[in-house]
Chains A and B, each alone.
Chain A
Amino acid sequence: MLSILRKFGKFLSSLRLTIVLLALAMVLIFVATISQVELGIHEVQLRFFRSWVAWWDVMPGDKKLSLPMPGGTLLGLLLIINLLAAHGARFKLRWNKAGMIVIHSGILIMLLSEILTGILGKEAQMPIDEGETKNYSVFQREVELVIIEPDSNGLETVTAIPQSRLRDGAEFPMEGFTVKILSFFRNSEIVPESEATEEFEKTRATTGLGKPFAVRGTPRETQADRRDLSTAFVEIIPKDGKSQGRWLLSNALKTEENFNVTGKTWKMTIRQRRLYHPFSIKLLDFSHDRYLGTNVPKNFSSKIRIINPETGENREDLIYMNHPLRYGGLTFYQSGFDNNDSTSILQVVRNPVWTLPYISCAMVGFGLLWVFSQHLLKALSRRNRSTSVES
């Protein structure tokens, strides 16, 4: 038994395992790269890098053939174990080993930072018009169904149901009524009734603005710059049990639907999931210059005002390419523009471990430099010795 354990320990710490794991990582990265053409970058990240087992569609399409391979999470963890085991088994604190230890600690930090970024990081966007003030960002790849209860003071109480809970047949009891999801399409095509073909759902809305439309589910969007059009048929059933009708809600329709229960007018809609901030941002001016006689962008920049009621801050700042604004644990980047240059799109990122790669890079860089310059010095002295022997 002990010998098996020892053998296993030896295997875990072996260089052979390192090489096999690195080779598998290369295969995974290569396959993930070419799969991006079919799947888009987000799907690839989930399927190949943030997974234990990655399924590669060798032949996408009708004659589907998928091969399993170790996913990024599995390979990452095995590499960490292998690295720790190797250093544990052969650990000797000597000056000539110090370089290697520094390099490998740096790599360990890098692997950890990638895993932590996946868990802790958030990426949202803030599309903002000139003159507009916003206190939230939106997630482009996620929607939420919101029920809005207005009160007499003009304030609104918002109940948001996240996308993960929007399933066919799901029911959400509210005060005085129930929201029932009849069907939900993560991505969909919405066409006027007259253009609907056989492939479209038979279900239609009985009330609201969505009445004249037909819907069908479609695969998720793979292009990074397009978002899914999520759609749901929703029923509102008051306490008395009589349905108020069937609505079609979608983030493709920009308006909110109204319904009356418990003596109040409620509103509901499907929209991109929001990330609220404790401060507001006002876009004062967006500018976008092109090189003379071309369409090549020279620069774009957003002049903004940060208004934070908590700290009393109220100041201007300029966000432009390669010069983001770091504020309140978030970073705002100039990402794009829309509506004939009157809308600026800011990328909003939260990544608490953003410093780790910097540390890791410095460690590995210096470590490699240290180790390789030792090699070089050795080679030089060997040559000098041999030339002195010759002469």
Chain B
Amino acid sequence: MKILRKIAAWLVPTLCLIFVASAVFRARAPEKGFHFKDFATLPVVSNGRVQPLDSLARNALLSIVGKQRVPGDNAPQSPSEWLAELSFRPEVADERKIFLIHHDEILGLTGLTRDEEKTYSYSQLQPSFDAIQPEARRIGAKEPQTWSPYEKALMRLTRNLGLYNGLKHTLAHPGQNQAEAEFTLFLSNIDGALVEAEKKNNGQSFNEDAIASAAARMRSILEWAPLTDIYAVPSGDTVDDWRKLPDSLIDAIDADGLLPATLAYARIGDAYRANDPVAFNSAVSEYTQWLSEKWPERLAKGSSETLFNRVAPFYLSMVLYVVAFLCAILSWLKQGATLRQAAFRTLIIGFILHTAGLVIRMMLEGRPPVTNLYSSAVFIGWGAIVLSIAIEAFYRNGIGTAVAAVVGFSTLLIAHHLSLSGDTLEMMRAVLDTNFWLATHVVVITLGYSATFLAGTIAIVYLIRRIFGSIPKSTAASFRGMVYGVICFATLTSFVGTVLGGIWADQSWGRFWGWDPKENGALLIVIWNAIILHARWGGFIKDRGMMVLAIFGNIVTSWSWFGTNMLGIGLHSYGFTDSAFFWLSAFIVSQLLLMALGFIPERQNKGTVKV
């Protein structure tokens, strides 16, 4: 019996491990036909940083379709496959329905009819560009705070069309079907024209047409360059030395022929168009080989980022957290110790993946863990789980595991939605460019958020369990201990974090405290935690009161985390269509309802009513 229990406690975690291993295996498995996985790792500079084509394609799809997959039948299987199609066979990509349009006014403007998927193709939208562009110019001239939901949606569509068009012109020119031949022809044309021009200058007879056709080709290359913001060709040791593909053609005039990257993309494109996987794969691997000799770190970074994207450790953690949560909940009903152990072990596996994801992101970025709103969500969950694991190790009653799973899952879900807005490994603005303060102030204050959310979540579990019958004295005592301890930790970290922020502000702007919304938000968390502690010490609240107040801490923290950012974009600019505002409001209402649970009087167990 004992052995059976032991096996059972390992069963779920083992299945989870198999699940994770298979995901990693699938991400690394070699492909038949076109090696899009290798193509995906090729580095380019976009958004100011070196990144693999894989990230470029994924972030573009997230922004355009809202997911990392191209919808529809016969759609490309991976983002990089879609990017190859868009670059080298744009006429096919243009027919794919990927532009998401929700707003009726935009449909009216474009003359499209509503269909079920609400997605439209580039070629469907193309006839309406003349209608969209003046609208975008009109709206762009206004302050973004005053944009209506329709105007926001139109600007989003315009931005996505621009993004799409930029990608289309990054690795090839849509009009050129034989890139290698045309590039070589361009160079020889220019050489020929230079000879003719020399003759002209010397007053000799010369070929007028040769000069004219070279000039026409030159013009088309010059017109090509502004169409993309992405730098595909490495030509030096720093990020600023990268060149756009068309610019690299101009550079080639003075050099001895095409740069290896230019030639590689020409061959890759030609092979793709010719549907020749062998040529495609060999062009990719030749270029990879060249890169690995010249700038191995760029290729290595591209490969690890691609693998990170493919494995998606945060997604795997979310699945494991759900499993851990279910096991923990069930452990309170039946099979206590066995299920509790299974839940804890599953949580640990999820946590290891979560940590691995966090560390890989830090290594890719060369930064401390929190650099933007997205990474703050990932880190809040991580911090809360660290605390919960300590709690679980201390109390061993499944509560720590359950709350860890809830907080971990919710914060990763929030992070996923935040990632829809674009590149999450973006470069830091000058003012934030300091690893010291990012590592101290930002990390500590985010731990304060973690702890306050954690205390609130434990309190929620307490109040919900209370409805299902009175909680045994010892369990109530451990709930009290957990919430109290976590609030103490929250007070410490949110105070120190807030003040460190003040010190950073003093160092970089000369004022310690400026009462700006984010600072105020942080201060509210500190004061709220202080209020709970003082009320507790003064005996004004007992267990139930502390739980109710701890849940209000969730509201205060969510205000500081998100609410203050919404103020920045204008208090009156968003209606209920702004989804972040909607979800914040919904969250606050839900927390108020949960607080109301605390006012339901204690339920008496029938057996213990007076005899």
Q: How far is the CA of A324 from the CA of B514 in the complex (A)?
A: 18
Whether B352 sits at the interface, judged by CB under 8 Å, is no
* Range for the number of chain A residues in contact with chain B: 35 or more
Question: In chain A, what residue has the closest Cβ to B517?
Answer: A33
Given contacts A292-B242, A298-B427, A321-B508, contact A33 B48 (CB under 8 A): no
Using Cβ atoms and an 8 Å threshold, which residues of chain A touch B504?
A: 322
B503–A368 touching, CB < 8 Å = no
Using Cβ atoms and an 8 Å threshold, which residues of chain A touch B394?
A: 383
Question: In chain A, what residue has the closest Cβ to B530?
Answer: A22
Q: How far is the CA of A383 from the CA of B512 in the complex (A)?
A: 42
Whether A365 sits at the interface, judged by CB under 8 Å, is yes
Given contacts A29-B524, A293-B231, contact A333 B535 (CB under 8 A): no
Whether B511 sits at the interface, judged by CB under 8 Å, is yes
Using Cβ atoms and an 8 Å threshold, which residues of chain B touch A3?
A: none
Given contacts A37-B567, A321-B431, contact A368 B47 (CB under 8 A): no
Q: Output the least CB separation between B417 and chain A (Å).
A: 23
Given contacts A26-B528, A324-B510, contact A297 B515 (CB under 8 A): no
B531–A22 touching, CB < 8 Å = yes
Question: In chain B, what residue has the closest Cβ to A122?
Answer: B510
Question: In chain A, what residue has the closest Cβ to B228?
Answer: A293
A354–B491 touching, CB < 8 Å = no
Whether A331 sits at the interface, judged by CB under 8 Å, is yes
Whether A34 sits at the interface, judged by CB under 8 Å, is yes
Partner of B515, one of A44, A293, A354: A44
Q: How far is the CA of A331 from the CA of B507 in the complex (A)?
A: 9
B45–A292 touching, CB < 8 Å = yes
Whether B437 sits at the interface, judged by CB under 8 Å, is yes
A357–B503 touching, CB < 8 Å = yes
Using Cβ atoms and an 8 Å threshold, which residues of chain B touch A333?
A: 508-510
Using Cβ atoms and an 8 Å threshold, which residues of chain B touch A29?
A: 515, 520, 523-524, 527
Using Cβ atoms and an 8 Å threshold, which residues of chain A touch B209?
A: none
A123–B528 touching, CB < 8 Å = no
B508–A354 touching, CB < 8 Å = no
Using Cβ atoms and an 8 Å threshold, which residues of chain B touch A296?
A: 48, 426-427, 429
Whether B499 sits at the interface, judged by CB under 8 Å, is yes
Using Cβ atoms and an 8 Å threshold, which residues of chain A touch B434?
A: 321-322
Using Cβ atoms and an 8 Å threshold, which residues of chain A touch B492?
A: 365, 368-369, 372
Given contacts A333-B509, A333-B510, contact A321 B430 (CB under 8 A): yes
Using Cβ atoms and an 8 Å threshold, which residues of chain A touch B242?
A: 292
Whether B433 sits at the interface, judged by CB under 8 Å, is yes
B510–A351 touching, CB < 8 Å = yes
B485–A375 touching, CB < 8 Å = yes
Q: Output the least CB separation between A361 and chain B (Å).
A: 4
Whether B537 sits at the interface, judged by CB under 8 Å, is yes
Q: How far is the CA of A123 from the CA of B46 in the complex (A)?
A: 39
Q: Within A357-371, which residues are at the interface with B (CB < 8 Å)?
A: 357-358, 360-361, 364-365, 368-369
Using Cβ atoms and an 8 Å threshold, which residues of chain A touch B540?
A: 15-16, 19
B520–A32 touching, CB < 8 Å = yes
Q: How far is the CA of A314 from the CA of B572 in the complex (A)?
A: 52
Given contacts A117-B512, A123-B510, A357-B512, contact A33 B240 (CB under 8 A): no
Whether A133 sits at the interface, judged by CB under 8 Å, is no
Whether B153 sits at the interface, judged by CB under 8 Å, is no
Q: Output the least CB separation between A333 and chain B (Å).
A: 5
Partner of B527, one of A25, A48, A347, A348: A25
Q: How far is the CA of A290 from the CA of B242 in the complex (A)?
A: 14
Question: Considering residues A322, A347, A368, A383, which has the most beta carbons from chain B within 10 angstroms of its beta carbon?
Answer: A322
Using Cβ atoms and an 8 Å threshold, which residues of chain A touch B415?
A: none
Given contacts A19-B540, A292-B231, contact A361 B514 (CB under 8 A): no
Using Cβ atoms and an 8 Å threshold, which residues of chain B touch A351?
A: 506, 510-512
Using Cβ atoms and an 8 Å threshold, which residues of chain A touch B90?
A: none
Q: Within A240-278, which residues are at the interface with B (CB < 8 Å)?
A: none
Question: In chain B, what residue has the closest Cβ to A25?
Answer: B527
Q: Output the least CB separation between B513 and chain A (Å).
A: 6
Whether B52 sits at the interface, judged by CB under 8 Å, is no
Q: Within B455-509, which residues are at the interface with A (CB < 8 Å)?
A: 481, 484-485, 488-489, 491-492, 495-496, 499-500, 502-504, 506-509
Using Cβ atoms and an 8 Å threshold, which residues of chain A touch B500?
A: 361
Whether A89 sits at the interface, judged by CB under 8 Å, is no
CB<8 Å pairs between A and B, sample of 29: A15-B537, A22-B530, A22-B534, A23-B531, A25-B527, A29-B527, A33-B520, A33-B567, A34-B567, A36-B516, A41-B514, A49-B515, A117-B513, A290-B48, A291-B49, A292-B45, A292-B231, A292-B242, A296-B429, A298-B430, A298-B433, A321-B433, A322-B433, A322-B437, A331-B510, A357-B513, A365-B495, A375-B484, A379-B481
B residues sitting closer than 8 Å to A (CB atoms) are 45-49, 229-231, 239-240, 242, 394, 426-427, 429-431, 433-434, 437, 481, 484-485, 488-489, 491-492, 495-496, 499-500, 502-504, 506-517, 520-521, 523-524, 527-528, 530-531, 534-535, 537-538, 540, 559, 564, 567, 570-572
6 extra interface residue pairs, beta carbon distance < 8 Å, beyond A33-B520, A37-B571: A32-B520, A110-B499, A291-B48, A292-B231, A335-B509, A372-B489
